[in-house]
Structure 1
Amino acid sequence: MVKKNVAAGRLNFTASTAEGVEKSDVIFIAVPTPPLEDGSVDLSFIERVARDIANAMTSYKVVVDKSTVPVKTGEKVAETIKRYCKAECDFDVISNPEFLREGFAVEDLMKPDRFVVGTTSDKPEAAMREIYEPFNAPIIFTDINSAELIKHAANSFLAMKISYINAVAAICEASGANVEEVARGIGMDERIGSRFLNASLGFGGSCFPKDLSAFIRISDDLGYDFGLLKEVQKINAKQMDRFLKKITDTLWILKDKTIGVLGLAFKQNTDDVRMSPAIEVCQRLLKEGASLRVHDPKAMEKARELLPAGRVTYVDDMDSVAEGCDALVVATEWPEFKELDLAKAGMP
């Protein structure tokens, strides 16, 4: 896709902000907003790029914020551009949050559920309509504050579904019910849907934990105690404790035990290990004195930065992970793990 569009002259790259701004009618801001310890996010990258755009502007531009930002950030971006722009030219700042899944970014871009655009002006609305109409997906035009809030509300709701089914899983285990059957029965209700109803180690990655914490902080700052979302966080933390208790209940003392771990990425189809529940499992097992044999189809290189060699052995073949292990843990839902031959792997 990249080669095709570069060859056709539709895609160009530059390291110069000034050149990019000069040759563009619509400018997308897509920079990180890393989490801070208090639950808020670091907006310094947003502020810096807004200043860079302002310094390079000489004519009307539509500035589109695609980064996940707290509500009212658009106002700050507009104020920053106005403050630092040396030329007398108009501009519009709009919000257009992204909803791409890691591992499926191209697919989600080409076949989106919807586009959300926050603007109150006709000119940028026309520009965004022209950009997105070829995708044949619904385009929701709303105000900037609502668009910014939609992203946090959406991700927090999905995190809530994950914590909900994990809480249900605890009840199922205590009662002898099958959580997969319960989830199937719940998910067939059209009002609920089946996605994000898989009991698991909990949610992780660079989006859900950060966006949930940010939404709670936004709510606190606006004077609302969002107790429901705080409970979602607690359930997610408890799920990890419950999982590790299963291991200690089985092996009792973990010191000098060897445990195989399948999966290191925070989910399948990515090499991203940021805030990965699988990595946390490994770190906590190591803290208890266990040694690990680990495998992941894509994430082993990045995992080495968080789990240095020593008591961690990285195994290229998933069928060999269990060799000499006292237990085998499936920590990430890679589909190939379902094909594991336990007898071949040396497990009873």
Structure 2
Amino acid sequence: MKVAVFGTGYVGLTLAACLAEVGHAVCCVDVDARRVASLSEGHCPIFEPGLPVLLKNGRASARLAFTTDAARAIDAATVIFIAVGTPSLPDGSADLSQVFAVTDSIARHARGDKIVVNKSTSPVGTVDAIKARLARHDASTATRVDVVSNPEFLKEGSAVLDCMRPDRILIGGASPATQALLRELFAPFSRNHDKFICMDARSAELAKYAANCMLATRISFMNEMANLAEHTGADIEAVRRAIGSDPRIGYDFIYAGCGFGGSCFPKDLSALQRIAEQYDYQPRLLQAVDAINQRQKHRLFEKILDHYDGDLAGKTFAVWGLAFKPNTDDMREASSQVLLRSLWQAGANVQAFDPQAHAEARRLFGERDDLRLMDRKEDTLSGAHALVIVTEWQDFRVLDNGLVRQRLLDATVFDGRNLYEPAQMAEAGLVYYSIGRPDAGARQAPR
């Protein structure tokens, strides 16, 4: 099947590469000529495990192409995916300007029967808005365009696997004929059992926001419990194991930490609040989830500040992890940003390491005298007063306690992801702070 995909970000690029991998002819469209040229030359612009191989396969088979020529891509395609960004506006609502720009392009160039699939995360009613916009542009009966919602449920760091082996494939607002065609398109991803869930467009659009906000709620709930555990002397890890064993709850997304970030949860949480408010409904739970997460991003700094009696001027901190989660280079809404800016404002220096996010850190922060990006995690320790864990990269899960104790000036670790056992840290002679668990080791006077 011939497919056009508008947008070459995480969603569009992953979707295009996976569709090409299973045999479809895919043309990716982007307005950024430099990005298109780079992709055409075989460069993958984002870090996503497995994606570079799929891009290489697609180019080698000639089933995957990149262009800035929207007219050519639209003319050739039977199915047109809108997979562009919907960033937050200043009030937290979703900016649909890119979605509507693609809509206008489709209206200008579409001839014959087309299926337009909105995969961009968009407010409830966007499919209706796209239909209305297309209708204003084209009164021709020769062109029939069906518009449907097909929300994406990709996780950064496992996007290729999520696309090739999805939990579900939501189709919103499709006619029986369109449903049949989309089932054919996605058939390679739905072989072991029927993963299609068909519904009206507005329900599909709300389902996307509801899914991310439910997961965000689980995280904020556990962070709230972690803060309560610190007050009561309980251990949040013991609590997690106890409640996770209940099959009605399960273990996913109930890990306490220093807050969630990324391009989805914070943005979708804000957007759904704005959607609710447009209908004069106050989403109290969503507001609380958001507020807890914003507060949680400051917990590591508060622990550091308390340990050093409010005096961080001139001190140096080793920071492990800058990306908002492992297996990505994405620092959008990352807890590391809040920590670093707080440390700098307090007069401290940072020596940081992340396996993938150094380029993004340089883009965000530029060249600073109080930030050094190190080639190895061990290099951050020398001359640092304390170690701070922000991202749970696999490489950080085993700690050389002796090396840390030897190199850190104050032998102190602040763990924002609860990677280590407090008793083992204390036994190694390290002062250890985590989230929602008793602190380990005697409090040492800072040097």
TM-score computed with the length of structure 2 as normaliser: 0.76
Q: Is the 8 A contact 2:258 2:298 kept in 1?
A: no
> Which residue pairs with 2:403 in the alignment?
344
Contact 2:351 2:372 in 1 (8 A): yes
Distance, in Å, in 1 between the alignment partners of 2:178 and 2:337 is 43
Equivalent residue, structure 1, for 2:323: 265
For 1:93 and 1:299, the matched residues in 2 are separated by 37
SS in 2 for 1:63: strand
Displacement, 1:342?
3.3
Identity of aligned residues (%): 43
Instruction: Please state if 1:197 is matched with 2:264.
Output: no
Among 213, 226, 232, the residue aligned to 2:270 = 213
d(CA) in 1 for partners of 2:85, 2:297: 27
The residue type equivalent to 2:241 in the other structure is R
Out of 93, 106, 125, which is 1:72 matched to?
125
2:161 counterpart (90, 99, 107): 107
Higher mean C-alpha displacement, 156-165 vs 178-187: 178-187
Q: State the secondary structure of the residue aligned to 1:344.
A: helix
Segment drifting more, 119-128 vs 90-99: 119-128
Distance in 2 of aligned mates of 1:167 and 1:57: 51
User: Deviation string for 1:171-228 (max 9, x for gaps)?
Assistant: 1112222211211221122211211111111111111100000001101111211101
Q: Are the equivalent residues in 1 in contact too, given 2:146–2:174 (CA < 8 A)?
A: no
- Aligned-pair CA distance for 1:248: 0.6
User: Which stretch shifts more, 87-96 or 336-345?
Assistant: 336-345
- Cα distance change on mapping 1:7 and 1:260 into 2, 3 Å: closer
Letter in structure 1 aligned against 2:370: R
Q: Which residue of 2 aligns with 1:161?
A: 218
Of 135, 144, 148, 2:189 maps to: 135
Aligned pairs for 1:244-263 (under 5 A) are 244-252=301-309, 253-263=311-321
Which of 62, 65, 73 in structure 2 is aligned with 1:20? 73
Q: Is the 8 A contact 1:40 1:217 kept in 2?
A: yes
Match of 1:146 among 185, 190, 203: 203
Q: Separation in 2 of the partners of 1:7 and 1:286?
A: 48
* Number of the residue aligned with 1:34: 87
The 2-side partners of 1:180 and 1:151 are apart by 30
Q: CA deviation at 1:74?
A: 0.6
Deviation at 1:111, TM superposition (A): 1.3
Q: Counterpart of 1:331 in structure 2: which amino acid?
A: V
Q: Which amino acid aligns with 1:292?
A: V
Mean Cα deviation higher: 208-217 or 79-88 = 79-88
Picking from 227, 241, 245, the partner of 2:298 is 241
Quote the offset at 1:280 in angstroms.
1.4
User: Residue 321 of structure 1 corresponds to which residue in structure 2?
Assistant: 380
Of the three residues 321, 337, 341, the one matched with 1:283 is: 341
What amino acid sits opposite 1:92 in the alignment? D
Map of 1:293 onto structure 2 = 351
Rounded Cα–Cα distance in structure 2 between residues aligned with 1:9 and 1:262: 41
Deviations 1:52-88 (A, max 9, x none): 0110111110000000000001111111112223743
User: How much has 1:120 moved relative to structure 2?
Assistant: 4.2
Report deviation, 1:304: 1.3
Among residues 177, 180, 194, which one is paired with 2:237 in the alignment?
180
Contact 1:186 1:193 in 2 (8 A): yes
> Which one is further off, 238-247 or 320-329?
238-247
1:305 aligns with 2:363: yes
Q: CA separation in 2, counterparts of 1:9 and 1:334? A: 36
Distance 1:178 1:104 in 2: 30
Is contact 1:265-1:279 (8 Å) kept?
Answer: no
8 A Cα contact 1:155 1:208, kept in partner: yes
In structure 2, how many angstroms separate the alpha carbons of the residues matched to 1:56 and 1:86? 13
Residue 375 of structure 2 corresponds to residue 330 of structure 1: no
> What residue number does 2:419 align with?
none
Contact 2:298 2:338 in 1 (8 A): no
Q: Tell whether the 8 Å contact from 1:255 to 1:289 is kept in structure 2 after alignment.
A: yes
Tell me the residue number matched to 2:112: 59
SS at match of 1:306: helix
Structure 2: tracts of 5 or more residues without a match:
1-53, 412-447
Instruction: Supply the RMSD in Å over aligned alpha carbons.
Output: 1.4
Between the aligned partners of 1:147 and 1:5, the Cα distance in structure 2 is: 30
- Please list every run of 5 or more consecutive structure 1 residues that lacks an aligned counterpart in the other structure: none
Match of 1:81 in 2: 134
Query: Which of 175, 180, 184 is equivalent to 1:121?
Result: 175
In structure 2, C-alpha distance between the alignment counterparts of 1:304 and 1:209, rounded to whole Å: 23
CA distance in 2, matches of 1:264, 1:145: 36
Question: Hey, what's the Cα distance between the residues in 1 that align with 2:90 and 2:352?
Answer: 30
